[in-house]
Amino acid sequence: MNDKKQQTNSAWGGRFSEQTDAFVEAFTASVQFDQRMYRQDIAGSRAHAKMLNKIDILSDEDLQRILDGLDKVELEIAEGRFDWSIAREDVHMNIEARLTELVGDAGKRLHTGRSRNDQVATDIRLYLREQIDFIDMEIKRLQQGILDVAEREAETIMPGFTHLQVAQPVTFGHHLMAWYEMLKRDASRFSDCQQRMNMSPLGAAALAGTSYPIDREFTASELGFDAPTQNSLDSVSDRDFAIEFCASAAILLTHMSRMSEELVLWSSAQFDFIELPDRFCTGSSIMPQKKNPDVPELVRGKTGRVNGHLVSLLTLMKSQPLAYNKDNQEDKEPLFDTVDTVSGCLRAFADMIPAIICKQDNMYKAAKQGFSTATDLADYLVRKNLPFRDAHEVVGSAVAMGVSTGKDLSELTLEQLQTFSDRIEADVFEVLTLEGSVQSRNHIGGTAPQQVRKAIALARKGPGNL
């Protein structure tokens, strides 16, 4: 950063009789963080300059100087040679001032018919639009990894839980495909939000539009927007698209925190269902035996800050009168941190999930505990014409015997089972096995390996599914 005093307030010096207080200058600046939108800002300036030329406000020569100058500025920034200045407040004024240094008066003509208010609204939309493409790719990479593991583990039996108590046996592939579905909705939320934000605020100027005969359709299409926004006040003041982005991110991270929690539980000695490869774990500096699931723990923890950023933006916008207010400058840090956090979490997960080591025997043993086939026994009795409520009662008594004798339902003898109902016959043992139980749930969305494979196949080929 180069804070040359003579640069201070050059953008509005005319109205002012003293320099900005040095602290206030730094306090009000945003260049420290908004410089990350430099490519979008330059793209917006190119489109605006071409439009000014098209409507004969800017000569061909000036346009050429501006375009050449912007190319130079972009290169300087990309190569780390750009001298960012706090005195020039934000990315927009830094770039414009440097352009003017490079090309003289033509640079001073660029801001005709535009304001930083429509400029920043444009930049953020362009920036988020691009970031969503990247996030979308990472979600798909993670989904791909989940599909691969789900395919490998389509037949692997584990306990399914409700209330974190063993409920019914499920296949591990089925459990993973639940994660896949959650992510599918997350991706579609980002894509909805991307579609809605793809409108061009450029031309709204400070708040009321401009007296020049600007061509907003032209700039919109130059920048790949679907159309210009319809109301200038709304264009410069609202940040609902940023809120939507953060809401989508908060839901995604909330989903990932649930996955994380399961990974943490499953890799504990008590569950011992999976092992995370060493490269995704860390040890303890004092306890030599420890291998900690840091990656899922951190992702679980980072959900807090992403949820917090959503609340920041909602609170930032609450009660703001139209149109632009400086408050809006506070949108960027939460937004950028959301982008970084989501990208990091997705990357870590997409790398880690395919490498999970599954301990099938332990999962199987755990599914055998907790009477996970009790519902299957009730369903069996219903098929033998006992009303479900009565069947529930019968099975409850059988479970009580299992608890007192320390046996699973499948380990009770036929004679023992028949003391609860004479409808129970030798074929009961087919439904009391874990395999029989999962096989029988053979319908769309059910846990049978066959259905899991169908769901995977659908996900792999269906347009919009992956």
CA dist., res. 453 & res. 451, Å (int): 5
State how far the Cα of 401 lies from the Cα of 395, in Å rounded to an integer: 10
Q: Is-catalytic flag, 163?
A: yes
Residue number, 32 or 440, with CB nearest to ligand ARG: 32
198 near ligand ARG (CB under 6 A): no
**What are the backbone angles phi and psi of residue 161, rounded to the nearest 5°?**
-120, 145
Is 200 a binding residue for ligand ARG by CB under 6 A? The answer is: no
**Residue 170 beta carbon to ligand ARG: minimum distance, rounded to whole angstroms:** 49
Residue 343 designated active-site: no
For ligand ARG, the closer of residues 229 and 329 by Cβ is 329
CB 230 to ligand ARG: min, Å: 21
Cβ at position 237, least distance to ligand ARG in Å:
11
- Total residues in contact with ligand ARG, by rule CB under 6 A: 10
Min dist. Cβ of residue 80 to ligand ARG (A): 22
Beta bridge partners of 227: 199
Q: Which residue has the tokens 């989940």?
A: 146
- The residue from 59, 268, 284, 397 that is catalytic is 284
- Asked if residue 120 binds ligand ARG (CB under 6 A), the reply is yes
Q: Which long-range contacts (CB under 8 A, 24 or more apart) does 10-16 make?
A: 10/88, 10/97, 11/88, 11/89, 11/93, 11/97
Kindly calculate the radius of gyration of the chain based on its CA atoms and give it in whole angstroms: 31
Question: Given the complex with ligand ARG, which of 171 and 328 has the nearer CB atom?
Answer: 328
Candidates 177-185, 323-331, 350-358, 446-454; binding stretch for ligand ARG (CB under 6 A): 323-331
Cβ atoms within 10 Å of 456's Cβ, excluding its own:
20
**Pairing state between β 274-275 and 357-358:** antiparallel
For 10-147, strand residue ranges (E) read none
118 is a contact residue toward ligand ARG (CB under 6 A): no
Should residue 116 be labelled a site residue for ligand ARG when binding is judged by CB under 6 A?
yes
328 near ligand ARG, rule: CB under 6 A: yes
> Which C-beta is closer to ligand ARG: that of 16 or that of 388?
16
Q: Quick check: 90 binds ligand ARG (CB under 6 A)? A: yes
Beta strands 199-200 and 165-171, pairing class: unpaired
CB burial string 142-155: b at 16+ within 10 A, e below: bbbbbbebbbebbb
The residue (of 205 and 459) whose beta carbon lies closer to ligand ARG is 205
Q: Does 239 bind ligand ARG (CB under 6 A)?
A: no
Q: What are phi and psi of 167, to 5 degrees?
A: -115, -70
The CA distances from residue 233 to 129, 204, 300, in Å, are: 22, 7, 39
- With CB under 6 A as the contact rule, the residue among 156, 329, 338, 372 that binds ligand ARG is 329
The amino acid at 225: F
Residue 65 binds ligand ARG (CB under 6 A) = no
- Closer residue to ligand ARG, CB minimum distance, 178 or 207: 207
Interacting positions 14-33 with ligand ARG (CB under 6 A): 30
Cβ of residue 85: shortest distance to ligand ARG, in angstroms? 14
Q: Which stretch binds ligand ARG (CB under 6 A): 35-43, 313-321, 322-330, 446-454?
A: 322-330
Q: What kind and span of H or E run contains 142?
A: helix 116-152
443 near ligand ARG, judged by CB under 6 A: no
Q: How many Cα atoms within 13 Å fall on the side-chain side of residue 354?
A: 11
Cβ burial of 77 (10 Å; 0-12, 13-18, 19+) is buried
Q: Rule CB under 6 A: is residue 8 a binding residue for ligand ARG? A: no
Give the CA angle between residues 341, 344, 345 to the nearest 5°: 85
Residues that bind ligand ARG (CB under 6 A): 30, 34, 90, 116-117, 120, 324, 326, 328-329
Annotated catalytic sites, by residue? 163, 284
